[in-house]
Amino acid sequence: MTPIMPRRHRKRSRPPEPDPARGRRRWLVPSLLGVIVLAVVVGLALQRPGADPPANALETPEPTASPEPPRATEPAVIASTGPPRLPDPATDGWKSEALHDATTAQLKKLAHLLSATETSPDSASLEKIVAPGFHCSPLRPEKLEEIRRDAMFAVHRAAPEPSDPRHRGVTGFAEALDELMGPLDGTTRRHVKFKQYRIDEQNGSALTTIRLEASGLAPGASSGAPSTQINATWQCRWSRATPPRLQSVTVVDYEQCALRLPDGPLLVECTPSVIGANDCYRQQLIFGVTHWLRRFEYLLGVLGDGHHGLAVGDVNGDGLDDVYLCQPAGLPNRLFVQNADGTATDTSARAGVDVLDETRAALLVDLDNDGAQDLVLAALRKLLIFAGDGGGGFTLKTELDGRFQFSLAAGDYDVDGDLDLHACNYSPTESDDLDRFGRPVPFDNATNGGRNVLLRNDGDWTFTDVTDEAGLTPTNNRWSYAAAWEDYDDDGDPDLYVANDFGHNNLYRNDRGPDGSGPRFTDVAVEANAVDANFGMSVSWGDPNRDGRMDLYISNMFSAAGNRVTFQKQFRSGDADRDVAIFQRMARGNTLLLGGDGPFRDASPEAGTTMGRWSWASLFADVDNDGWEDLLVTNGFLTNELKDDL
């Protein structure tokens, strides 16, 4: 193995069970609260009247000074050491969230009934969910327009039609549900999920807006039942009984997607068959980060957030793509070289790239124009650059200071024929204390982030920091997750878009003077309508409408809780409508910006691209080879042994 930097050791070992408060990353706390309760944490704390909230609602409070010993006449009381009280909307004045909890419990019962593949819900099972006098239109509209049909997909959407509440009572609801689930007949592994993202309290009732996702997999190529997914939006009216009961359902939109491939699903999990023969798969990769947090010393820098990227490239010139996989501190990064039979062999130690440092990002690019892929790593405290020999081996050439770099992007910004590097630095801290990643201030437009770095390739493995002279400095103070190069203005040099967490993004236009001086960057995000103030975590350039102008897709966070809370009248009631709209926008989700002759146009709602959940990375790619770019979105968050324990 190749430890690049000397490892420091503590005088005493870390205990086998880490303190959960230390294990949490402070920089993650604002993100987590921003998505789960969004701006409740920035001015609307859900605390009991008179109680002072802790500085960090997810951290275990610091112990207070020991009280004076009780007098002899007083019984000694041992204070509780249980977990801190979680916000309870029922007692904190948030009736809308208490109502959400109650209606969600009913929807979970309904989802459980619909997930059964053997039988459809009957009237008896629905009686505790449906109110007397219930009515709804067909939940699967009768008029469906075929949007797409090819060798891979068939997509249908509801055509506009007048409301027809023909289904009444419990029996009618059971019939409507049976029609709804009809396209999933014959499928297996049925999954049904309801998500409420709007709620409106009314006299004697409540109106909620719900997203429904229902899917089933084809049991086999000869079954005749294609893998199908149903996406729908409902408006549900609930009684204020205990528990609440459905009074009506109105279908806002409906979409049905069927996979037409005869040989099975579109994507198949193949990790064990590709890399399962390697020792590192069985001894390292199958374990989660919690496993290693309990075994490694804290100062090694094992961060339990999962921000470890990968790079794809042909490292040995055989025409097959290979994969470099970044790992947490103390675990060697892995280079998997593809074999002709589709398997991959771990060659990281032999190649000299089994780096033990916490590594956030990697690039496989040709930096010296010799035709071989070189390797760039964003380690916790260094930027490491390896020269590739074209046969799968690497030699460390350059180490640059790069504390807490999160992502890398390569582009020839000065158009001199070799690739330059841009590194995003998320955190402003210069401390070695891994718990201190700082806090974004202000929450919705933070300008106290880290310093991103532009490195000019001067040849002979020399890279010069030209961040300031290139003009990036004035707005180079945000919590940057990712950046991407693209010549969006078609002037012959690459421009740079930077996606920032907690606020405004940057679009740096690359310009040269009339005399050829430069290049010099200017942040034109505002005038180009490309600010997208949000929880930016990735950016991808593409041309999904094939008009010849480059478009942008930015990964943010869709928050159902944020959409509910920020539209309540009591949310930040003392603020101007414009300020409240900022927080509502931050809960909306991902953003699609279409390029043209003028500013970018936000086409997200009409394109249906906002709901990407908690999105970490997105990519334009023509998945089905039809000539049109599709979107792949990775999403999710940490999962521990206990669902409420990060």
pLDDT tens by residue, 188-232: 889 999 999 999 888 888 999 999 999 998 876 555 567 899 999
**Residue 586: C-alpha distances to residues 364, 446, 504, 549 (Å):** 34, 13, 11, 27
Judge if 252 and 188 occupy the same domain: yes
Judge if 463 and 538 occupy the same domain: yes
Judge if 410 and 439 occupy the same domain: yes
Which of 325-339, 361-375, 575-589 is the least confident region? 575-589
Percent of the chain with pLDDT over 90: 51
Residue 387 domain-assigned (yes or no):
no
> In the predicted model, is pLDDT for residue 371 greater than 90?
yes
- pLDDT tier at 92 (50, 70, 90 boundaries)? confident
Which residue type is seen at 584? Answer: Q
Mean of the per-residue pLDDT values of the chain: 82
Judge if 172 and 219 occupy the same domain: yes
User: Does residue 516 or residue 44 have the better pLDDT?
Assistant: 516
pLDDT of 579 reads 81
**Among candidate residues 210, 237, 259, the one where a domain is terminated:** 259
How confident is the model over 259-300, as pLDDT tens digits? 988 776 788 899 999 999 999 999 999 988 788 888 887 767
How confident is the model over 595-618, as pLDDT tens digits? 999 999 999 998 999 888 888 889
How confident is the model over 540-572, as pLDDT tens digits? 999 999 999 999 999 998 888 888 888 888 788
The H-assigned helical ranges of 135-193 are 169-180
> In the predicted model, is pLDDT for residue 55 greater than 70?
no
**Among residues 160, 110, 168, which one has the least CA distance to residue 135?**
168
Percent of the chain with pLDDT over 70: 81
**Residue 571: C-alpha distances to residues 100, 109, 564, 580, 584 (Å):** 16, 30, 10, 8, 10
Q: Report, in this order, helix, strand and coil percent for the chain, each rounded to 5.
A: 15, 30, 55
3-state secondary structure 246-289: EEEEEEEEEEEEEECCCCCCCCCCCHHHHHCCCHHHHHHHCCCH
User: Does residue 116 or residue 379 have the better pLDDT?
Assistant: 379
Residue 68 domain-assigned (yes or no):
no
| Count of domains forming the chain | 3
pLDDT of 116 reads 82
Residue 143 domain-assigned (yes or no):
yes
Q: What is the CATH number of the domain that holds 200?
A: 3.10.450.50
Residue 2 domain-assigned (yes or no):
no
Residue 573 domain-assigned (yes or no):
yes
Judge if 252 and 278 occupy the same domain: no
> In the predicted model, is pLDDT for residue 72 greater than 90?
no
Residue 200 domain-assigned (yes or no):
yes
Judge if 481 and 623 occupy the same domain: yes
Judge if 170 and 302 occupy the same domain: no
Residue 512 domain-assigned (yes or no):
yes
> In the predicted model, is pLDDT for residue 67 greater than 50?
no
Judge if 283 and 220 occupy the same domain: no
Asked if residue 335 lies in contact with residue 315, where contact means CB atoms within 8 angstroms, the answer is: yes
pLDDT of 238 reads 95
pLDDT of 429 reads 65
Judge if 235 and 372 occupy the same domain: no
- pLDDT tier at 82 (50, 70, 90 boundaries)? low
Judge if 204 and 328 occupy the same domain: no
Judge if 449 and 536 occupy the same domain: yes
Torsion angle, alpha carbons of 240, 246, 248, 253, to 10: 120
Neighbours of 165 (CB within 10 A): 14
Q: Which residues pair with 353 in a beta bridge?
A: none
- Quote the domain boundaries for residue 425: 11-59+404-646
pLDDT of 65 reads 42
**Among candidate residues 204, 237, 259, the one where a domain is terminated:** 259
Residue 408 domain-assigned (yes or no):
yes
Asked if residue 501 lies in contact with residue 426, where contact means CB atoms within 8 angstroms, the answer is: yes
